[in-house]
Amino acid sequence: MESAVTAAVLVVHAIAILGVLLIERRQPTATLAWMLTLIFLPIAGVLIYLAIGTTRFRRISKASQSSVSRISEITQQNPVLAAVPDPLGSGTDRDPRTESMLRLGRGLSKLRASRGNAVDILVDGKATYAAMTEAIDAARDHVHIEFYIIQPDATGRRLRDQLVRRARDGITVRVLYDAVGSRSLPGDFWDPLRAAGGRAEEFLPAHNVLTRLRNRDRIDFRNHRKIIVVDGRIGFTGGINIGGEYLGLDPDIGEWRDTHLSLRGPAALNLQQVFLIDWLIATGEAVDEPSAFPDLSGSAPEGCPECIVQIVDSGPDRSWSAIEHIVDQALALAEERAWIANPYFIPSQTIQDALISAALRGVDVRLMLPARSDSLLVSLASASYFPELLEAGVRIFHYEQGFLHAKTLVIDSWVGSVGSANMDLRSFNLNFELNAFVYGATFVDELADVFLDDLARTTEYGLEQHSGVGVPLRLARAGARLLSPLL
């Protein structure tokens, strides 16, 4: 009996190793990390691999593609979206690099970039929540909300109660929240909204783990997007979730530094498309009301008329890591500056090489990270990448005034980005993410000013600091780096 069990374990072990080596298309570092895990933890390693080892959802990928096709059918029949001018190949008054970026985005995503948007940068939770509250109060038809984290604290209850009031006013309210990110929500949290006629649904419920494993659904693929769409006319996206910590009310974290965007115009319809795809995946309900895509003609907002807004969604349901590819292309095309602010930095080899190449050709490459991370393992792994970057000329800064959670990118005065994606392997490959890339000097220079304002609250980390690190810490960083593909 024991020999049969041993043989079965060896067979499963061999299959798992072959899966890592031959079937899954991974980066070599990820393959090595999984190989070592499976070799040194034969039984536990297989269980871990079954839970979080596969690189793509089978079931969710099918559901996602079906949802994308269904929403595409709906949107293609919508005259409003058909009437939105396509900036691809339609102008000579812009930076010539933009054309290649728009073509890449078209190849990676079904979403069409657009002109004619008002784009406002919202700094920190207070300004963001105020703008969201104002937009929701002014809603005339619907409010669509999607967040990774919604806390059951005063901030979360305030949003819920506002949505309850709007639902009682006859406004259609749909809320989508990640089951793991919002795991603190009690089971009855949304009862008042549902009683008022609103809807609140989980994305990828985590309770039935055995079913998820049987379907080859990784239990750690999460929806990390932050989206609000009001009446199809105004949208919000960026790095801010719903909770008191984003207002600096968590005494363990302190001040929370974050960045969000308000978008009015056709870009809001892109956010709507992403929300409706996710809603269909989660609920099986295809929203095809004409009011979801209102006629925006004759109401062009004031703001950044020359700007092109490109909404890029990415996730483990896709063949390509869309946001990673766009960021890599932007870094490759940088000529003067490439400034990145991000809370989590575990770059893929592609992004690491792009940063090094940019610095070596004389681009001003700056990386701003939090001085204190909420994950020791991530912090150790992140620091392991510093020596190569510093030697190439990348400048690294640690934000000292609270926790830096903003996820922004500034390339020259050409393109800037604000979104939900961290600069790490998990966001690029394992999470459902969304970033807005905005082309136009007006926006990019404003985002650069925000970066410089934050830079005044940083301490630069140089090679001299790294040379002073002791052997035990260096070994810890090296070990964490080896595990970084699993984080």
Instruction: Compute, in degrees rounded to 10, the torsion defined by CA atoms 158, 162, 165, 170.
Output: -150
Does residue 189 surpass a pLDDT of 60?
yes
The two tokens of residue 245 are 């910590």
Does residue 48 surpass a pLDDT of 70?
no
By the 8 A CB rule, do 435 and 418 touch?
yes
Nearest in space to 120 (alpha carbons), one of 253, 244, 292, 303? 303
By the 8 A CB rule, do 406 and 336 touch?
no
pTM: 0.86
pLDDT tens digits, one per residue of 85-114: 778 776 656 788 999 999 999 899 878 899
Domain boundaries, the chain: 2-52, 59-83+116-303, 322-486
Mean pLDDT throughout 372-394? 88
Domains 59-83+116-303 and 322-486 fall in the same CATH topology = yes
Alpha-carbon separation of residue 485 from 25, 27, 55, 196, 226 (angstroms):
13, 9, 11, 44, 24
Q: What CA–CA distance (Å, rounded) separates 59 from 215?
A: 6
How many other C-beta atoms can be found within 10 angstroms of the C-beta atom of residue 83? 11
Single-letter amino acid, residue 442: T
Q: Which CATH class is domain 59-83+116-303?
A: alpha beta
pLDDT tens digits, one per residue of 240-285: 999 999 999 988 888 999 999 999 999 999 999 999 999 998 998 8
Q: What is residue 372's predicted lDDT score, i.e. its pLDDT?
A: 84
Q: What is residue 80's predicted lDDT score, i.e. its pLDDT?
A: 65
Q: What is residue 18's predicted lDDT score, i.e. its pLDDT?
A: 56
- Per-residue b/e over 11-20, b at no fewer than 16 CB within 10 Å? ebbeebbebb
- In sequence order, what DSSP letters do the residues of 256-303 get, joined into one string? EE-EEEEEESHHHHHHHHHHHHHHHHHHS-----GGGS---TT-PPSS
| Mean model confidence pLDDT for the chain | 85
pLDDT classification of 336: cutoffs 50, 70, 90: very high
Q: What CA–CA distance (Å, rounded) separates 415 from 55?
A: 30
Nearest in space to 408 (alpha carbons), one of 193, 259, 216, 277? 259
pLDDT classification of 381: cutoffs 50, 70, 90: confident
Q: Which CATH class is domain 322-486?
A: alpha beta
- According to DSSP, the residues that pair with 203 across neighbouring strands are 178
pLDDT classification of 15: cutoffs 50, 70, 90: low
By the 8 A CB rule, do 321 and 351 touch?
no
| Residues known to be catalytic | 224, 226, 231, 405, 407, 412
Q: What is residue 3's predicted lDDT score, i.e. its pLDDT?
A: 67
By the 8 A CB rule, do 380 and 475 touch?
no
